[in-house]
Structure 1
Amino acid sequence: MSLGGLFALLCIEIDGCSGDRRARYGALIAAAYGLGLFLAGVSWVYVSLSVFGGMPAAVAGLATVLFCLVLAVFPALAGALFVGFAVVGWWRRGLLFASLWMLAECLRAWAFTGFPWLAAGYSQTPPSPLAGYAALLGVHGVSFVSALLGTLIFEVGRRCLSTEPCSTRGWLHRFPALPLLAGAAILVTGDRLRDLRWTEVAGEPLSVALLQGNVAQEMKWRPERFFDSLRTYYRLAQEHPAQLTVLPETALPAFLDQVPAEYLDALQKLALRQHGDLLLGIAVADGKQYFNAAVSLGASGQQHYSKVHLVPFGEFVPPGFAWFMAMANIPMSNFTAGSPGQPPLRLAGQRVGVNICYEDVFGEEIIAALPAATLLINISNVAWFGDSLAPAQHLQIARMRALETGRMMLRATNTGMTAIVDVDGRVLSSLPPFTRGALVGEVRGHTGATPYVRWGHWPVIVCAVLLIALLGRRRAVLRKQVLVQRETK
């Protein structure tokens, strides 16, 4: 695991340097790790700015690098503190590293509206045994466990490769059994936790049709293609009847009041023939404000959800950055945020927690609709990122949300990845990306609450802070003892 490699490099720095240089070099090592991670993992930012946003390639490239440099500050902070503390003992170092790494991720998920993308915990979706910790601890807790396991793997390797005689430090310091057993315990416990079911099935099976129009982003907002989009989604809904039909984010490139009334009536009739509902992603205007919204039509009456957590630069312009947005051509890039605490929508006999695109990255916001919601739906348009890592990464994030909440997650996207995710994080079915079609299947609602739904991330955050405080106190006591011994001599 790469975090184990980072831990190894930082431990070398602890043992090889002293004083202020040690913390500074620790920050540089962790920053280099973070920069590489983000340049590779969020390279799709360049695609959205340059290829689809129309920004000059050099400016888009510079903006992407600067963005990654800012993100690298968070691992740099963790690296500096870890090396600066310089605790003694493999298990103390492991706990300190995992705690600092997790807290740095939490800080990144909060600062400047938050960017929790590429949290280490997302790498542990099924079949990883660590996925079992998600319902207990959330993605950041899984990051903690993942980082701790990485340190144990390094310690096992270090002991196996050590040429130091056993007599110099003692048998326990050389034999790899202790970190090996600790690592095995973490894996076995996680695997057993995967078998637990924290929620219960509610209601009868529900037929769903998730529509993927595959409308190219560069064509979507052209006025002459408007009626093509209307025909595409009408035909898909007509040919794939279901109790719940879901269209992706901004499926129709217009405001709701600009869509012909007879077209909306036709969609409603398609929903009513199954005695069900249709959920449509579309922009909704209210005076001078407009919202990125999901609107339902059908047997349950018209309801709507307005996106709460907007994307900086993509959906709203941060103060002082109007000049930057002037270089990009991003339609509807100044939405108004919806009200927090919107209740789940009542659709096809289920209470549906709707989230739009980027919102499902924030687990603590998703659980705001729980335990009332029995089903989760994410509608997205990731066509902005082309054939990049973003669609697959977004699906992996949705899988983590299903694990954390004990709810099925349905994803309807414009170009991919449209999928049905089970409560255990497995992808039950999906559509190939960049194809036009409908994903049809049966899903079940669930009731109840996982520990994560009840308490969120706070238990792991508090425990990590307490661990750091205890380790810091012990370090201070040891330093005081060393100073006393020096004075007595």
Structure 2
Amino acid sequence: MADPTTSRSRADERTSAAGARRARTLPRWHYLVALAAGAANTLSFAPTPHGGWLELALFAFFFAWLTRSTGWKSAALTGGAFGFGNFVTGVWWLYVSMHFYGGMAAPLAAAAVVLFSLYLAIYPAFAAVLWSFCAGHARNGTADDRAPFSPTWHGALAFASAWAIGEWLRGTVFTGFPWLASGYAQVDGPFAGFAPVAGVYGVGWMLALTAALIVQAFTQLAALRRASVAGKARPGGAGGTAGVSGAAAGTQLTNARAALPGVFALALIAAGLLLQLAHWTLPANAPLTVRLLQGNVKQEMKFEESGMRAAIDMYQQMITSKPADLIVTPETAIPVFVQQLPAPFASAVRNFSDSTGSAVLFGALGATVTPEGQLVDYTNSLFGVTPGSRDVYRYDKHHLVPFGEFVPWGFRWFVNLMNIPLGDFFRGAPVQKPFIVHNQPVSVDICYEDIFGEEIARSIRESATPAGVLVNSTNLAWFGDTIALDQHLQIARMRSLETGRPMLRATNTGMTAAIDADGKVLGRLKPYTIGSLDVTVQGTSGSTPYVTSGNNTVLAVSLLLLAFGFAFGPGIKRRRDTDK
């Protein structure tokens, strides 16, 4: 028979623990603050100049706020609230495409943005849960512990690794949507130098680690200060000078250890700044003179017959107005199938190319012609004309936009709510041959394909003729005059940093720009104007570490550190608690 006193004691302990758990339930305003911090993080991205420093401060706050969580559930809600605040304020411009150009009712378009943002918030919520388990936080905090966060090195590494895995998953699952990946805000920030080494997710890893180390240092120093004040408040006994000196030396040593995470965080910032001075690629071939065209064709007129004729005539005049080594139009600047190109346009471009030595890349629709003469397998394509050659270069877009260029299974009803033409396209190959311009291989991509850094790196890595210049042809008129234009330019700059290659952008309404191999903008056109940007760019050769290994480096390191934290974190925490 059980001893009644022991049974009563255990019951009292369980009651006390349950009361402590109830006392530690986080208030609702905790999650509202996390949501507000996520919304503020949108200000870290373009068009905010040097927003990477703001992002570092906000990430430090976010991690500190996350450490207040009392288990994996509250960690998930905290991470999810931060993510939702960031996404709903950062990609609200999707409303413009669905309502103003897609014709969807305003309440439905707004609801779609909210639901999409909630979906995107799943990934930071998942990262928070992963940190909570792998840092030992969720499994080791006791119910009566008023401060469940125990700062550790493996906890900081777990946060960085969990955050990188979450962002990578968001950029991969269901074709991926890596827009607003935390590393993009760092193109002018302290961690830009890590982009050629580990890519945008590696930059985000460094950001998260540095933020966590800063919080760890402040937490440990604050705890030491409280302990010191408490020690002075206790009545002391007689002690000699040697004892006082020994205690002071011990305090200094403890303070140094507590500050070490902060010192390491400063070292990471310094490394990121110094790495920006490194050059991973070398100039290759002669510089190219380039003309990037911006027609500013209104989206509502783009597929009307009168608008199509006007666009073709305008771009014919813009292409042939002045020679250059390379002339690039925006995505579907010529809004017809290439088989149906007007003869005057085709002959004018061909004659201009042959007579001036200019290579021309123009956007149009591609298709395959059946023996019966029907057009099938529509593609969003770029076609290239080179002087003295009858061959026409063709690039077919591979990474298609869900709901805009293909309909995900089960969502036909959603697309039917909008009035967007040509909702289903055929995919091009993942790696396609470059466009050769005066012996300079040029790798091209269309629309938001340039937000997938791994695919850009793969096109260079696996090509028999690695490109020395990147070209993006896009049409952002779907999103109006919004922050989407600045954000996309920032993303393109990250691609230059990752690959060590210049990036050229020809857009319909903006941002048309030229970016050098160091991610610096050489020139840009004012959005929503008609014009051409004339620049000279120097192609490069060689491979950055990121081009060589892609996202494998950050994924391997993150998974290894998370496995270590999950396996050994509990033991590390128990030993720390025993030593206290």
Matched, 1:47 2:108: no
Deviation of 1:86 after TM superposition, in Å, equals: 4.5
Asked if 1:59 corresponds to 2:121, the answer is no
CA distance in 2, matches of 1:136, 1:363: 13
CA contact (8 A) 1:240 1:440 kept: no
Are residue 455 (structure 1) and residue 516 (structure 2) matched? no
Number of the residue aligned with 1:122: 184
String of CA shifts for 1:286-329, please: whole Å, max 9, x gaps: 13210000001131531100000101101001111111111101
Shift of 1:347: 2.4
> Does the CA contact (< 8 Å) of 2:511 and 2:524 recur in 1?
yes
Aligned to 2:404: 314
- Aligned partner of 1:97 in structure 2 is 159
Query: What residue in structure 2 maps to residue 385 of structure 1?
Result: 479
Q: 1:294 is paired with a residue of what secondary structure?
A: strand
Q: Please name the residue that 1:297 is paired with.
A: 385
1:405-435 CA-to-partner distances (Å, cap 9, x unmatched) read 0110000000000010011111111111111
Render the CA deviation track for 1:113-143: whole Å, top value 9, x for unaligned: 11111110001003x2311100001110000
Could you say which residue in structure 1 is the equivalent of 2:328? 246
Q: Shift of residue 477 of structure 1?
A: 3.0
Give the drift of 1:24. Answer: 0.5
Using the TM superposition, give the Cα deviation of residue 241 of structure 1 relative to its aligned residue in structure 2, in angstroms.
2.1
Whole-Å separation in 2 of the counterparts to 1:476 and 1:155: 18
State how far apart, in whole Å, the 2-side matches of 1:430 and 1:343 are. 28
Which residue in the other structure is 2:308 paired with?
226
Per-residue deviation, 1:258: 1.9
- Of 408-417 and 1-10, more deviation after overlay is shown by 1-10
Q: What's 2:277 paired with?
A: 195
Contact kept, 8 Å, 2:135 with 2:154, in 1: the verdict is no
> Which residue pairs with 2:61 in the alignment?
5
Q: Deviations over 1:416-455 (max 9, x none)?
A: 0001001111111111111110000111111110111111
Aligned match for 1:70, one of 103, 115, 119:
119
1:165 match: secondary structure:
helix
Secondary structure, in 3 states, of the residue corresponding to 1:424? coil
TM-score in terms of structure 1 length: 0.93
In the other structure, the counterpart of 1:32 is 81
Map of 1:131 onto structure 2: 192
Q: What letter corresponds to residue 385 of structure 2 in structure 1?
A: L
Contact 1:350 1:374 in 2 (8 A): yes
**23-32 or 249-258, larger mean C-alpha shift:** 249-258
Q: Would you say how many aligned residue pairs link Structure 1 and Structure 2?
A: 476
Report the secondary structure of 2:423's partner residue: coil
- After TM superposition, the score normalised by the length of structure 2 is 0.79
Give me the whole-angstrom Cα distance separating, in 2, the residues matched to 1:310 and 1:86.
38
Matched residue SS, 1:55: coil
What is the match of residue 285 of structure 1? 367
| Aligned equivalent of 2:171 | 109
Maintained 8 Å contact 1:406/1:446: yes
* Contact 1:269–1:298 under 8 Å retained in 2: no
Cα deviation, residue 93, structure 1: 1.9
8 Å contact kept, 2:486–2:511: yes
Compute the displacement of 1:284 (Å): 0.8
- Counterpart of 2:338 in structure 1 is 256
CA distance in 1, matches of 2:281, 2:360: 26
Which has the greater radius of gyration? 2
1:212 to partner: Cα distance: 0.3
Q: Distance in 1 between matches of 2:381 and 2:469?
A: 18
CA positional deviation for 1:269: 2.1
Distance 1:173 1:100, change over 3 A: farther
Contact preservation (8 Å) 1:74, 1:108: yes
Output the aligned Cα RMSD.
Answer: 2.0
Q: Distance between the aligned counterparts of 2:131 and 2:543, measured in 1?
A: 35
From 496, 499, 505, the equivalent of 1:411 is 505
Cα 1:270–1:103 change in 2 (3 A) is same
Offset of residue 92 of structure 1: 2.2
In terms of mean alpha carbon deviation, does 364-373 or 427-436 score higher? Answer: 364-373
- The one of 72, 75, 79 aligned to 2:128: 79
Structure 1, 452-461 or 331-340: larger mean CA deviation: 331-340
Judge conservation of contact 1:244–1:348 (CA < 8 Å) in 2.
Answer: no
Consecutive aligned runs of 4 or more in structure 1 exceeding 6 Å deviation: 479-483
Distance in 2 separating the partners of 1:275 and 1:100: 52
Structure 1 Cα separation of the partners of residues 221 and 151 of structure 2: 17
Return the letter of the residue paired with 1:455.
S
1:412 maps to amino acid: A
Deviations 1:78-137 (A, max 9, x none): 1122223443434222111111000000111110011111110001003x2311100001
- The residue matched to 1:203 in structure 2 has which SS? coil
Work out the percentage of aligned pairs sharing the same amino acid: 42
CA deviations 1:363-396 (Å, max 9, x no partner) are: 1111122151111100000110001111111111
CA distance in 1, matches of 2:302, 2:431: 31
Structure 2: stretches of 5+ with no match in the other structure? 1-56, 137-149, 232-249, 369-374
Pick from 364, 374, 383: which aligns with 2:454?
364
Listed as ranges, the gaps of 5+ residues in structure 1 are: none
Paired residues of 2:435 and 2:442 also in contact (CA < 8 A): yes
